[in-house]
Amino acid sequence: MAEPSIIRLYISGMTCASCAREIEKKLKNRGISASVDFATGSALLTAPRGFNLQKAIDVVRGAGYTATPRRVYSQAVRLRNLLVSIALAVPVIVISMPMSIFVLLSIFPSILFWRFLVFVLATPVVIFSAWPFYRSCLRRLSRFGVTMDTLISLGVCVTYVWSVWVLFSSIGHPNDYDEQSLYFEASVSIVVFASVGRYLEAKVKAKQGLALESLVKLAPKTATLAGTLEKVLTENLRAGDRVVIYPGERVPADARIVEGGSDVDLSFLTGCSIPSRVSIGDTLASGAMNLTGNLTAEVVRVGSDTELSRLISLVQRAQKPKLVRVADRVSGVFVPVVLILSLVTLFAHWAVTDSLAGSLSAAVAVLVIACPCALGLATPMAILSGMLRGLQLGILIRSTSALESRLSVVVLDKTGTLTENRVSLSKLIPAPGQDVNDLLRLSASLEAGSEHPLARAVVMAAKDKGLVLESFSDFENHPGFGVTGKVAGRDILVGRLGWAGKTPNKMPDWMSGRDISHGTVIVWGGKVRGVFVFDSPLRATSPRGVALLSGMGLKVILATGDGGFAATNAAESCGIKTVVAGAKPADKLELVRSLQARKDRVAMVGDGINDAAALAAADVGIAMASGTDLAFDRSDIAVMSSDLIGVVDGIRLSRKTRRVVKQNLFWAFAYNTAGIPVASVGLLSPMIASLAMALSSLFVVGNSLRIRKFQPTTPL
């Protein structure tokens, strides 16, 4: 069965989280699986291959919104309308101030003139500038629904219609006129402050979207085929094609170098600005910048399978965390409750004060100040800011559930996590009477004919010691077992235990008492002359990374499939006190589950297939990007630098994002909880309420953007 495709639609016309919920519901009712995000103004569709995108676009349009496959960032029209409304609203507010009337009357001694001037200036703002709010309100009312724009529209219309009625009723009865019963300044201020908030929110969304889409632009449009030097479209490349990449060009697809060497910029993937040296056999990610030398590479992955495409897709497919879903649900029921509260305020205030004008003012203030804009917007904005900052640092937050976990334990795999993804010779144990350097020289001389990673490790160890290698003859490579050949007049075998008829099935007796059950041996004359023990070298940053994790209050456990000697050695080097050696995949999974059964919140860090089950079971799975695809796909966070310091920063960034989300939710709830009672007793005018509404949204948006200033751990 073909895997479903992931399609993103950009939606305009959404004004709150309720709009997003409505579109999501409409799409799902038509059998289209969708996740609609108000913060990014987009919908993520999961559809079968060959899905007709126009069907989804028609559903969105049928709900009263517009949808396009590409985002349009132009804010020119919105800005022009905003500036016009501000130009008209400022005189209205100034003229309506009680202290202004004496100055105005000295200029033109007719109070009726100034009243009608306010009316004339306010009318275009109320009718035209507020139209986007009315349109959204009417769209939802036609389907018996309400949104935040319902509150804004009611507030504007009630204050405007009341003021018009009072104004025209006062004609011919100037002595009966109550100056405070005109609320034109309230109606225009509600429109202006709400519009300013919407404009700034749209600017922030556009900036966030551009940051993500800048990744898309990393992939070049064309590639140069090797041999013919023909320019072809990148989308026409196929696995197996060979391409030439010149200095200053970006890699068109994931490709393995077959000729040449160079320095490349992988900062978009690893977060490290230092160029990486690459040569024959290394794999380059699509979008990497070639800096110094000509490269010929064989394409291994194209299109949506490339590392860059997966990176973009994983960010786009991140699901809403529980905190955002709670905010969405609250926003959905909050508006009807506010409408009821506003009506209660109107009639209660009227009954107590016997002033219809004052009662309307209090009711409108409740409508406006209760708009849960901050609640519906700023929480997903914080999450998006965290994910984008992570991308800049080479930390990919793939699942936003990682933002919700309060971790207490970190379980680390050894190979590829604490250690590098290459093999080195840890030690060579000689048989009694044998010289270590002689054994290393002879074995390296023979292994020089092999390309096996263990053979290269032996040769490298000999070169590091300055040993001079000898020539070999009669060389034979036996895949899966070892090599044989003649060196210095000896028929030598270097291979694994259990090589039928050539090596013993177990370690020789002189190895008893050592915690080594398997290894590579060197044999001649029918006797085992030495045992090689291989290991991966410890990353230079691993001890500091472990210390930082412990300093964050996390218990660190090493769980590795390696034997006791290698596991204990790595743990002691890094300062890890708890070690689980010889752990198979099922053992790692059981370790995670047992910790969770003790109410611990567990992060699992690994990079291999044997870590995949534990990564999936952990509260937060963290994968090193240098590992296998299966481990990567089972993780919640991927560290592109494959460095334990990156793990530390990933957890720190998640904690900071979670703190900001909680701060935003607290502010949004506190603002509404405190503002509604104050407005309901008439202590807030509609103008002040609208200003407070706009400032509330801007506060939480600004608080969310603080995440973009998150600083990674400073290297030593």
> Among 484, 476, 481, 480, which Cα is nearest to 523's?
484
Average pLDDT of span 624-651: 75
Distances (CA, A) of 459 to 122, 465, 513, 528, 583: 85, 10, 28, 20, 30
Helix (H/G/I), strand (E/B), else coil: 473: strand
Pick the CATH number of 222-305 from 3.40.140.80, 2.30.42.10, 1.10.510.10, 2.70.150.10: 2.70.150.10
Instruction: Report angle CA 134, 137, 143 to the nearest 5 degrees.
Output: 140
For 362-369, what is the mean pLDDT? Answer: 77
The gap from C-alpha 587 to its chain's centroid, in whole angstroms, comes to: 31
Within a 10 A sphere around the Cβ of 573, how many other Cβ atoms? 14
3-state SS of 509-565 is: HHHCCCCCCCCEEEEECCEEEEEEEEECCECCCHHHHHHHHHHCCCEEEEECCCCHH
pLDDT on residue 554: 94
pLDDT in tens, 30-40: 888 887 876 56
Tens digits of residue pLDDT in 593-637: 999 999 999 999 987 656 767 887 888 888 887 655 545 566 778
pTM exceeding the 0.75 threshold for the entire prediction: no
User: Would you state the pLDDT for residue 379?
Assistant: 66
Nearest to 133 by CA among 81, 177, 172: 81
310's tokens: 């997966």
pLDDT of residue 292: 78
What is 424-535's CATH number, 3.20.20.140, 3.40.120.10, 2.120.10.30, 3.40.1110.10? 3.40.1110.10
Which of 241-255, 363-377, 385-399, 559-573 is the least confident region? 363-377
Mean pLDDT (whole number) for 44-60: 78
Q: Which residue has the higher pLDDT, 178 or 171?
A: 171
Distance, CA of 710 to CA of 386 (rounded, Å): 9
Q: Where on the phi/psi map is residue 498: left (φ > 0), alpha (ψ -120 to 50), or beta?
A: left
At 202, is the pLDDT very low, low, confident or very high (cuts 50, 70, 90)?
Answer: low
pLDDT of 446 higher than 80 = yes
Q: Is the pLDDT of residue 513 over 80?
A: no
Who's near 551: CB < 8 A, 6+ residues apart? none
pLDDT greater than 70 at residue 13:
yes
The tokens describing 71, both together, are 């985002």
pLDDT at position 457: 86
The model's pLDDT over 455-464, given as tens digits with 9 standing for 90+, comes to 888 998 999 8
**CATH number for domain 400-414+541-635, candidates 3.40.50.980, 3.40.640.10, 3.30.70.100, 3.40.50.1000:** 3.40.50.1000
The tokens describing 555, both together, are: 């218990």
Q: Of 570, 568, 560, 546, which is closest to residue 419 (Cα–Cα)? A: 570
- Token pair, residue 351, equals 């009954």
pLDDT score recorded for residue 271: 45
Task: Please report, for the chain, the start and end positions of each structural domain, with discontinuous segments joined by +.
Answer: 5-68, 78-212+317-384+661-707, 222-305, 400-414+541-635, 424-535
Residue 78's nearest CA partner among 187, 203, 188 is 203
Residue 177 reports pLDDT greater than 70:
no
Q: Which alpha helices (H) appear in 98-176, and where do they start and end?
A: 101-107, 111-124, 131-141, 148-169
Each residue of 400-423: pLDDT tens digit? 667 666 889 999 988 778 887 677
> How far from the centroid of its chain's Cα atoms is residue 471's Cα?
55
Higher pLDDT, 379 or 115: 115
pLDDT surpassing 90 at residue 698: no
pLDDT in tens, 659-687: 888 888 888 778 777 888 888 887 877 76
Same fold, 400-414+541-635 and 424-535: no
Q: What's the confidence (pLDDT) of residue 318?
A: 45
**Active-site residues: which are they?**
413
CA distance 12 to 201: 13
DSSP letter assigned to residue 157:
H
Of residues 43 and 250, more confidence is placed in: 250
More confident residue, 656 or 331: 656
Distance CA 401, CA 397 (A): 9
Is the confidence at residue 4, as pLDDT, over 60?
Answer: no
Which residue shows structure tokens 């009672």? Answer: 677
Q: Closest Cα partner for 36 from 23, 26, 51, 52? A: 23
Nearest-CA neighbor of 97 among 177, 189, 173? 189
449-453, long-range: CB within 8 Å, 24+ apart, which pairs? 449/475, 449/477, 449/483, 449/485, 450/477, 450/483, 453/422, 453/423
550 vs 136, residue with greater confidence: 550
Lowest mean pLDDT, pick from 101-115, 120-134, 636-650: 101-115
The mean pLDDT of the chain is 78
Q: What percent of the chain has pLDDT over 90?
A: 12
- Please name the residues in contact with 118: beta carbons below 8 A apart, sequence gap of 6 or more: 91, 92, 95, 96, 182, 184, 185
User: In CATH, what number does 5-68 get?
Assistant: 3.30.70.100
Residue 558 has pLDDT above 70, yes or no: yes
Residue 647 has pLDDT above 60, yes or no: yes
Mean pLDDT, rounded, for 580-597: 86
User: How would DSSP label each residue in 178-199?
Assistant: -GGG--HHHHHHHHHHHHHHHH
Percent of the chain with pLDDT over 70: 77
CA dist 430 → 18, 279, 440, 448, 530 (Å): 73, 35, 10, 20, 4
Per-residue pLDDT at 99 exceeds 70: no
Question: Which of the four pLDDT bands, split at 50, 70 and 90, describes residue 52?
Answer: confident
pLDDT higher for 271 or 122? 122
pLDDT of residue 652: 92
Contacts of 507 (CB under 8 A, 6+ apart): 497, 514, 516, 517, 519, 531
Please report the pLDDT score of residue 244 as a whole number.
94
Residue 624: strand pairing partners: 639
Of 197 and 652, which is predicted with more confidence? 652
Sign of the Cα torsion 321, 326, 329, 331 reads negative
Q: Is the pLDDT of residue 149 over 80?
A: no
Greater pLDDT, 58 or 405: 58
Average pLDDT over residues 425-440: 88
